[in-house]
């Protein structure tokens, strides 16, 4: 016996088996029970939601040998013949391939004859919007005043194309796309009946990919079973659908919240290497951002971890990203899906959509004048940029480059050091020299700004190519943006709290919201059995997080009851970590700026340190 696909095997045969269309089932059931039958019905809706199925069930209800009923028996001759498609008084016409007036007239010629086997003749016209205007006109009179034994059932996915003269003669029912939860429940029942093992996450992917169509969901399930060798596992289903791993989605949102452009670009390149869809990435990001916005606006309505395994991670991201940035990124993702087709390739479009958010963030390093200078140099045509020749041979630069303009562009940035002698103004940025692993000299190590002698760092120098100029001016360079050290007021309680939090994190005892509560809070007071911690945001004061933090502290031997209050904090583990990172950054900047080799490049060749390129290593 040949295999019967799931979409046909589990097609509903009565109204009680219909899924997700309760409003249509209730109306038809009441009409059949009360014998209030109309002569023409129009069912609209997207593909795979049950239009043809409802038509066949209605035909069985009208012609069942037990009488007109909302619950056809399914075993009589009429019911079985309609299910198998050989009932002589039930005719289905596909208007997509039979759209002319001749086909409709042949159908209407049968209307003059009474039913042969059943109680009613039922004419079902699928995709009725495909009929020509002449075919519609030929059908109007019969549709308006049909014989008492004739019923019209029309189905379409595009009711806007159906003439209003036809619509006015029908009872119209709109079959809605099914919610992913409804599809998930039905797939679970089907797979239990088929004895097929399935992961819940795999079924979630299939339910979401079906886009509201139960038939598509069952077809995808058939494909997934074949792909997985009789099992449904998340990894296999994700690979089959080309879906993006949620880890990538959360990594992108986390990087955007932190303003980390490098991670954003690297993750987009990873998606390119794996061949994953950029449009699906933006769609999944939109879903996560929507849940984040709900958490930020109404924390009590957040998804439960029992129904969504990513609920805690979503809530943690909601705390990291400001609400206005969440709304902005959500809009960018929606608009970006429409722009992907206009981009050189979809991954370039994806990268630009995500980097667009960073353009709205406050600049973390360079001042506007410095950025303008670098942008001016980067925008120059390649014909005016010098080849990567030794710095000692810059005289080959083209003579047609206007030197005063270049000097004016460079002079907009503050200088790191003044030259000892007049130097020719540099032209376009010609050479970029990486400066790495530079050790501080003894003189530099004695400076107070450097915390530890031998601190290493890296930077990127943009070395312009000199050219003769009539009005030489002083060389200048773009200094990196000023790094500020967060103000921390150390306390004895803060020392104790930081030790506890560090130990909990080392033991991996706190995760997500609980970890954020520990890092962002300040231990204000403690006595025997009671600790008072303070936070600045109400969203951190979560009962579940507080209870989990208490249990984690108990693993360290601290059997205490935590009380959380709102207020200004001056000493928290997060603030201490940020201050330490800022001090390391200052030390790295001092190593670079005070290095004699860097100062010589700045003095003699007008080199500039690219803003944001100094990183401690």
Selecting from 1.20.272.10, 1.10.40.30, 3.30.60.50, 3.40.109.10, what CATH number does the domain 246-297+308-360 have? 1.20.272.10
140 contact partners, CB below 8 Å, separation of at least 6: 165, 166, 169
Please give the model's pTM, rounded to 2 decimal places. 0.53
Higher-confidence residue of 569 and 423: namely: 569
Residue span(s) of the chain under CATH 3.30.300.150 come to: 492-570
Q: State the DSSP H helix or E strand holding residue 397, giving kind and residue range, or none if neither.
A: none
- The arithmetic mean of pLDDT across residues 411-421, rounded, is 36
d(CA 429, CA 388): 11
pLDDT digits (tens, 9 = 90+) for 17-73: 888 888 999 999 999 999 888 999 999 998 889 899 999 999 999 999 888 999 998
Compute the C-alpha angle 584/585/591, nearest 5°. Answer: 90
Res 382: pLDDT: 40
- The arithmetic mean of pLDDT across residues 154-176, rounded, is 91
Q: Domain 6-174 belongs to what architecture?
A: 3-Layer(aba) Sandwich (3.40)
d(CA 411, CA 598): 19
Cα→Cα distances 347→215, 235, 242, Å: 31, 22, 14
Res 411: pLDDT: 35
Residue span(s) of the chain under CATH 1.20.272.10 come to: 246-297+308-360
For the ranges 274-288, 396-410, 456-470, the lowest mean pLDDT is seen at 396-410
d(CA 436, CA 89): 86
Fold of the domain spanning 180-241 = Helicase, Ruva Protein; domain 3 (1.10.8)
d(CA 531, CA 43): 64
Res 502: pLDDT: 92
d(CA 533, CA 564): 5
Name the phi and psi angles at 370, rounded to 5.
Answer: -65, -45
Residue span(s) of the chain under CATH 3.40.50.300 come to: 6-174
Helices (H), 343-435: 346-360, 368-378, 403-410
- The arithmetic mean of pLDDT across residues 575-589, rounded, is 89
What is the arrangement of strands in the sheet containing 530-535, beginning at the earlier edge strand?
522-527, 530-535, 561-566
Q: Which of 414, 344, 324, 406 is nearest to 602 (CA)?
A: 414
Q: Which of 305, 312, 306 is nearest to 250 (CA)?
A: 312
d(CA 433, CA 600): 13
Average pLDDT of the residues of the chain: 78
Asked whether residue 472 carries a pLDDT value surpassing 60, the answer given is no
Res 477: pLDDT: 42
In contact, 583 and 487? CB cutoff 8 Å: no
d(CA 588, CA 428): 28
pLDDT digits (tens, 9 = 90+) for 219-271: 999 899 988 888 888 888 888 887 767 788 889 999 998 888 999 999 999 88
Selecting from 3.20.20.240, 3.30.300.150, 2.10.109.10, 3.40.50.300, what CATH number does the domain 492-570 have? 3.30.300.150
Res 308: pLDDT: 67
In contact, 419 and 471? CB cutoff 8 Å: no
């Amino acid at each position: 016996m040949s295999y019967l696909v799931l979409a046909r095997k589990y097609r509903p045969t009565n109204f009680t088996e219909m899924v997700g269309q309760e409003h249509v089932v209730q109306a038809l059931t009441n009409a059949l029970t009360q014998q209030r039958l109309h002569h023409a019905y129009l069912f609209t809706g997207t593909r795979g939601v049950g239009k043809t199925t409802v038509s066949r069930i209605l035909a069985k209800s009208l012609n069942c040998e037990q009488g007109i009923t909302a619950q056809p028996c399914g075993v009589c001759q009429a019911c079985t013949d309609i299910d198998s498609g050989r009932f002589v008084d039930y005719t289905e016409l596909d208007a997509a391939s039979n759209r002319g007036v001749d086909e409709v007239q042949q159908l209407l010629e049968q209307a003059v004859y009474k039913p042969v086997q059943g109680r009613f003749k039922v004419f079902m016209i699928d995709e009725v919007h495909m009929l020509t205007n002449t075919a519609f006109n030929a059908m109007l009179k019969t549709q308006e005043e049909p014989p008492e034994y004739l019923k019209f059932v029309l189905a379409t996915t595009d009711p806007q194309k159906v003439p209003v003269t036809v619509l006015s003669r029908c009872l119209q029912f709109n079959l809605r796309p099914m919610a992913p939860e409804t599809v998930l429940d039905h797939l679970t029942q089907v797979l239990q009946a088929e004895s097929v093992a399935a992961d819940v996450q795999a079924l979630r992917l299939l339910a979401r990919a079906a886009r509201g169509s139960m038939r598509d969901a069952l077809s995808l399930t058939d494909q997934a079973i074949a792909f997985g060798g009789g099992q449904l596992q998340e990894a296999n289903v994700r690979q089959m659908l080309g879906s993006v791993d949620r880890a990538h989605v959360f990594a992108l949102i986390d990087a955007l919240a932190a303003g980390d452009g490098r991670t954003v670009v690297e993750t987009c390149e990873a998606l390119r290497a794996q061949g994953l869809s950029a449009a699906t990435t933006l769609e999944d990001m939109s879903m996560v951002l929507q849940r984040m916005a709900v958490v930020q606006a109404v924390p009590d309505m957040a998804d439960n971890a029992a129904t969504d395994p990513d609920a805690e991670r979503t809530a943690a991201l909601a705390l990291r990203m400001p609400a206005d940035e969440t709304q902005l990124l959500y809009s960018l993702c929606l608009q970006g899906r429409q722009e992907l087709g206009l981009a050189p390739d979809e991954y370039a479009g994806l990268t630009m959509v995500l980097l667009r958010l960073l353009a709205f963030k406050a600049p973390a390093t360079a001042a506007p004048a410095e950025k303008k200078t670098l942008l001016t140099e980067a925008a120059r045509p390649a014909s005016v940029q010098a080849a990567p020749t030794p710095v000692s041979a810059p005289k080959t630069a083209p003579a047609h480059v206007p030197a005063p303009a270049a000097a004016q562009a460079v002079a907009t940035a503050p200088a790191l050091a003044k030259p000892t002698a007049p130097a020719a103004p540099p032209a376009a940025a010609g050479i970029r020299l990486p400066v790495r692993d530079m050790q501080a000299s003894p003189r530099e190590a004695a400076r107070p700004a450097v915390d530890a002698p031998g601190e290493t760092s890296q930077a990127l120098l943009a070395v312009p190519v000199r050219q003769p100029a009539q009005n030489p001016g002083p060389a200048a360079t773009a200094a990196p943006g000023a790094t500020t050290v967060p103000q921390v007021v150390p306390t004895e309680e803060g020392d104790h709290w930081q030790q506890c939090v560090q130990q909990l994190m080392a033991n991996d005892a706190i995760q997500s919201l609980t970890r954020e509560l520990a890092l962002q809070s300040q231990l204000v007071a403690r006595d025997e059995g009671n600790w008072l911690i303070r936070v600045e945001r109400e969203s951190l004061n979560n009962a579940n997080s507080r209870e989990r933090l208490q249990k984690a502290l108990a693993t360290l031997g601290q059997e205490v009851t935590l009380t959380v209050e709102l207020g200004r904090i001056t000493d928290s583990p997060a603030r201490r970590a940020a201050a330490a990172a800022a001090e390391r950054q200052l030390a790295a900047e001092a190593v670079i700026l005070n290095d004699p080799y860097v100062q010589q490049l700045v003095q003699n060749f007008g080199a500039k340190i690219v803003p944001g390129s100094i990183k401690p290593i």
